[in-house]
Every structure is written in C-alpha cells, then in structure tokens.
Structure 1
C-alpha cells in the first residue's frame, strides 16, 4: 500500500523525466489506472493573489486532468502576503459528474510524517526525547531482527530515513480493493517489516515507512497517550486546522465534503471508488486526512517558525542526499528540499495513498502551494507522464 511520497517540483525537462521514474521507486507501491471526465474548475479566493501565479495554478490543474488523466484535482495557493485562493479541475464523482468541492478533504499520505516529526521534536525541545539516543532507549527489546538492532539506530535516523529498517509496505498485500477494510495494529506493521533483513544504520538514505511507525511508537511511549491525541493537541489544534484530523480506530469514511478517490488494479484499467478504507496500515506513516488549505497552512506555519524553536527547525532542514535520480532532492527530518527551476528550493513533503496524491512546497519568496489529485499516478494510462506532470506542477506555480 502506498503511503508517500515525493511529488513536489522539478527544474528542467530532463530532470522531470528522471524524477517521474524516481516517484515509482520512492513512492508508488501499487499500480492503479485511470480515465477521467474533464470539467475545468474556477478559482475561489479568500482575498487576492498574484495574478500570474493564480493563472498558473488553474492551468496546471486543468493539465493534470486533461493531459495526465487524473479524475479530479484541487489546490490552494498562498502568495507571499498570506492571501490564498482555492482551485479545482475535473470531477469529484465519475458516476454523477459532480464537481470537485473547493478545498475538499483528501487523505494526505506521507505528509502525515511531518506532523509526527513536529510532535516528536516538540518532545525533544522539552527534554523527554533525545534525537541522538538509540531507539532501544525508548522501545527496549522491540526493534530487533536480521541486520536490525535498535541499540544501533538513533531517533534522528528514523526521521531521516537512514536507519536501515526495511520497509513494511514493500511486502504488504497490494490488492487494496480486497484488503481496504482490514485493520492492523502498529506492532503488526513492525513485525511485517522485520520479516526482511535490514541494512547498516547510517550507511545510506532509504525511504522506509517503518521508520515512522517506530517513531510513532516512541512518541506514544514517551507521551503516555495515543499518537492521534498527541498530534491533535500539539499540531492540529494550535494551528486551528479545522478540517484536519487523525482518523479514529476503525474510521473509514472522510468526515466532510470531499472528492472521491479512485483506484484500479492496473494502468489503464477500470477505476473503482476507494474513498472508504481503513488507513490503519498507514498509521503514523500516512493516515491523516486534511484539505489543501489546511495542509498548506501547516507547512507555511512550520517554515515560519510557529511550531518549533529555530534550532529544531534547523534540525529539520539539515538534509542528506537521497537518490541520484531525484536530481537534487534532499531529505531532512520529514522535510524535503527540492530545487526550483527559477532558483532556490521548495520545502515540503508529499504523500501517496490509494485514491489520493498530494504535493506542495513553500518557496524561497514565501509563496506556497498544495496540489492534490484523486488517484495515484500509477492509476493513469501513462503513469510516468502523470508523475512527470504532477512533479512539474508545484515548480511551475512557485516559479510563475
């Protein structure tokens, strides 16, 4: 099951092709197919915005539906003065032809990792977690297996994806349509991961959802409360993200208005509604529900220093190399920096989960955008082209 990642931005055309292939490597763990009815959207706005960038957002969304084949797309753009607009394209329900609701709720996949990292780093600030302490300190005897030793893996390495822990989603049953209602406990996800061998901690960057399952278990242990409560109390409520929530145990439906999310068993196959599912298999690695505007506000607040003291935000932004095919994308502590074609980098994350993909970034001039589509790139008839278009969209807006 795909939880993540990183459709954020691109710099040149050759780079976009490389990044599109990397999306499959880093994020896409299932194949889905799509056909989409096209309905161009119109922007709604809270206040003004940069006209060139505003036009570019709508142009990119229309292209994601028309050219890439996503059923629907929605976005929030915020200019450097904090003025925001919401946009849509395509349809929110292929059966009825209903429009995509402005700023509708979507599953945000691995953007959830950044919420968790913020909560964990707040505990670091309070002195109850040490970034460079071994996992064994907090979860004694739990993280051990073939090539895996919790006493040799630090908390920092979990957040940085340099722990060497194998990825549990690599060996999951990817028949999402038949397993969509199955509930699993976080410990089961860890057990599944440990059926595979690990690699030496610190030896390389390797994206693994297991890292954030372990980080979530640490936060629960230290805080003495369910992870959902910790994230809600420390991140969601202080920022007044009214349409963002961590699903309750067994909660499968989205709470407020939303476009349907679609899935298929193979590229070009029949799309099926997969909006209703149990996200327990994603848990700390990717189960949060939000809207483009809330998610955009979260990253703007984070980068603006509203959630962490400067020293810990700097820790989040201390990055390591990822993969050559990602062409300069670097990973910090649940934050990615992606080179922009116009110079500088965008900071954000990205998320994939059956039915929805989200990408976005905060640019060097303070502008920001969050884009969501209602299927994974692998759901389209041409997954590489769809991934390329999605990877390009954020760059095109932030460089408009």
Structure 2
C-alpha cells in the first residue's frame, strides 16, 4: 500500500557515501493543552518505524496542539515543530488537483473531456491515445498510465527538468490497463495535469498554484520551489535516507539534494504541518473550489487497506479514510526522499498533520502512520 500511495520517483541518493550511526533520542517532546497520551504513544510507534524524528500538529477548529518524538536534526535535541519546513512530496497533488477543479469551475476545463482536447499529441503512441483518457481519470489515477518505476527523464543542460520531459519519460512504459478499468497510482498523471494547467492558463504552473492557492489562503510557509532551487527554508526538518537496525540508524542527510523540477506537480512543494492543516481545512471547508467541484473531488474509488481495519478511497487528488470513531477524513500522503508525511481533516473541523524525516527504504510505516492520525482525530483528552 505504501508504494501505491507514495511517489514512485526516488531521486538520487541510494548509496550512502558518508554515514553515521547514532542511537535515537529516547525522550519525547510534548506541547499541548491537555492529555494526549494515546496520541503520544502512537507517535512514538510511528517514529520508531520512521526517521530520527516525527511530529504531529492537530486540533479541532477551536484549539490546536503539537507533539514530537526524536529529533528533526541528527546529533541535536531538536524536536519537530508545526512551523518547520519540509518537502511534502505527493501532497503537492492535492494543490495541483485543486487548480484543475478551479479551471473546471471557470468553464475552462471539463472533467469528462479527453486530454487530447487540451494537449494535442502529448499522450499518444506506445499504446496510448489521448482521445480515450479523460481529465477525471488523470486526477483519479484511473487513466491506465503505468507506474514509472525507473524514471530517467532527459535533463536540461543545467540539471533541471521540464514537465514535457517528465511526461515523455513516464509514457515510455506501455499502458497498465484500459482507461477507467483500474486504479494505479502514477506520478505521470499529475505531470500531465501540470502541462494542462500551463496550457490553459498560459503561465508556469508554480506561478499558478502560488497565485490561486498559496497566496489567497495566506500559506506563507508554503512554496513551489523554482527549478534548480534545492534549498528548504528555515526552520527546517532535515530529511534522511537510511536503514534502521534495532535502536540504531544508518543515514545520510538528503534534505538539500532533491531537484524539485524532477517531481514538479506530482511532488515538488515545501510546506509545514501548520500550513498543510490550513490548506486541507480550507479545501474541505469549501473555500478553494465550488461545492460542485468538491463533491466531484470526494467521489472516491476503493484502493485497498491502510494497514489498519479501514479501507482507503481515492477521489480527485484526495484520499478518503474511514475513522474508527465514525465518519471520514480527507487528505493526502506524501513520500519523497527524506520525508514521509500525511494530513487528514474532517468536515467538522478536526485535523491532523504528521511528518517523519526518513523515507523508509525497506518497511514504510504506513500502519503506524494511519494509527497515529486516527488516534489524533478520535482521541478525547
């Protein structure tokens, strides 16, 4: 399940050139009004399967609280804070989907129009026909486009990538199914949607997402980094690659090694737990797209288990999770080199955003992550 829900491009640093082995901090940091002991225990379990640190920011619309375990920077006692920046990976997809639905609201895009209408000749050849793949299917990962498990796009001379190059690389794999026949998570779907946004608006997609989503919502800690800008604003959670061996961890710091244009509209953005909570709350609260478009985004197909007793659903750039205490939560996860994160919100205003600073190489802590989110959203201190 983790492979299905996470980004399928692993840029860069699989080999560890310089590594350190260090016992993880055993103490946990808590900053909350009230007793969130069950959530703290779930956070500790998540961090024990994740990176050197983990954090959660949660609330119910009237109050917020934060908990942390481990450290955001190795060799320091640096608890992860809700205002710390990190790469959000595939949570970028919800921003991309939101812009597409805004264009639907404006009559500039139709969900049930073929992508060929907007991008003639782009999705064509190698078994693909853009006349048979609808915009809705790209948003929901039911287009039949294959997972690009070995990405190798053509780079520009400066080491950056264009969306067109990412799409060409993704379509080198033959279709995995007929359009609409199955759900299969593929970054290529959202790279094509990035090209769609640029074609319809006539502007770079980073500028469009910034002007349409980030700025109107006041997400001052959220950025769509420019091609070539590998920095992460401070304060930041450092991201690591490595393998855990009991209480020890073999890692290398990769937080500034990611070329954002290699992920673009599928996973390039940077944000914080606090900003992501605000974004998803605004979206589910009807402040980003129309009520009709939000209803389309929430039409989900089953995509399997979360590692708990709950099946997950996938809408148009949104994951649906059935809470143990009743009701549903909406959001998205993000997995990118150095980070694993997710944000879920409910229609009645509850929210929880989590991050750990390691992309698990062998065993993704999917079960522990959903247990943590479910506990935070359902716990009554």
TM-score range, shorter chain: 0.7 to 0.9
TM-align CA RMSD: 2.4
Where do residues 142-161 of structure 1 align in structure 2 (5 Å cutoff)? 142-161=122-141
2:118 to 117, 132, 138: 138
Paired position in structure 1 for 2:255: 275
| Structure 1 position 145, deviation (Å) | 2.3
Q: Are residue 344 (structure 1) and residue 353 (structure 2) matched? A: no
Matches within 5 A, 1:133-282: 133-168=113-148, 170-172=149-151, 182-198=159-175, 199-264=177-242, 268=245, 270-276=250-256, 277-282=258-263
SS at match of 1:210: helix
Native 8 Å contact 2:171 2:188 kept in 1: no
Instruction: Detail structure 1 runs of 4+ shifted over 4 Å in the superposition.
Output: 28-36, 266-269, 324-327
More helix by share: 1
| Contact 2:337-2:358 at 8 Å conserved across structures | yes
Shift of 1:340: 1.5
Report the count of equivalent residues: 360
Structure-2 separation of matches of 1:348 and 1:75 = 15
CA contact (8 A) 1:171 1:192 kept: no
Give the conservation status (yes or no) of the 8 Å contact 2:53–2:72. Answer: yes
Supply the distance in 2 between the matched residues of 1:172 and 1:302 (Cα, whole angstroms): 31
Residue 268 of structure 2: SS of its match in structure 1?
coil
8 A Cα contact 2:331 2:345, kept in partner: yes
Matched, 1:60 2:42: yes
Higher strand share: 2
The CA distance in 1 between the partners of 2:167 and 2:366, in whole Å, is 29
Distance 1:203 1:102, change over 3 A: closer
Is the 1:108–1:358 contact (alpha carbons within 8 Å) kept by the matching residues of 2?
A: yes
- Closer/same/farther in 2, CA of residues 256 and 131 from structure 1, 3 Å limit: same
- DSSP 3-state at the match of 1:377: coil
* Residue number among 261, 273, 290 corresponding to 1:309 in the alignment: 290
Residue 357 and residue 35 in structure 1: after superposition, are their counterparts in 2 closer, same or farther (change >3 A)?
A: farther
C-alpha deviation, 1:64, in angstroms: 2.5
Q: Given the two structures, how large is their TM-score scaled by the length of structure 1?
A: 0.83
CA apart distance, 1:68? 2.1
Report the Cα distance in structure 1 between the residues aligned to 2:272 and 2:160, rounded to whole angstroms: 24
Question: For 1:18-57, what aligned pairs fall within 5 Å after superposition?
Answer: 22-27=1-6, 29=8, 37-38=24-25, 40-44=27-31, 51-52=34-35, 54-57=36-39
How far the C-alpha of 1:310 sits from its partner, in A, is 0.8
1:113 aligns with 2:89: no
TM-score (norm 2): 0.87
Distance in 1 of aligned mates of 2:369 and 2:305 = 20
Q: Deviations over 1:226-285 (max 9, x none)?
A: 000110111111110110010012110102211210013x66572000000212211100
CA-CA distance at 1:86 after TM superposition: 2.9
CA distance in 1 between counterparts of 2:371 and 2:328 reads: 14
Question: 1:398 and 2:377 equivalent?
Answer: yes
| C-alpha distance 303-290 of structure 1, shift in aligned 2 (>3 A) | same
1:27-85, Cα deviation, whole Å (9 max, x unpaired): 3756899976225343446xx5xx35x444433323333x3252011221111x33222
1:331 corresponds to 2:314: yes
Residues 70, 290 of structure 1: CA spacing in aligned structure 2 closer, same or farther, 3 A cutoff?
Answer: same
Shift, 1:187, TM fit: 1.3
Q: SS of the counterpart of 1:74?
A: strand
C-alpha distance in 2 between matches for 1:242 and 1:288: 13
Instruction: Name the CA shift for 1:69/1:371 in 2 (closer, same or farther; >3 Å).
Output: closer
In the alignment, is the contact (CA less than 8 A) between 2:224 and 2:269 conserved in 1? yes
Contact 1:36 1:94 in 2 (8 A): no
Question: Is the Cα contact below 8 Å between 1:267 and 1:378 reproduced in 2?
Answer: no
> Aligned partners of 2:22, 2:118: CA distance in 1, in Å?
47
Q: Which range moved further: 289-298 or 56-65?
A: 56-65
Q: Distance in 2 between matches of 1:373 and 1:390?
A: 9
Q: Is the 8 A contact 2:72 2:78 kept in 1?
A: yes
Change (3 A) 1:298 1:25: closer
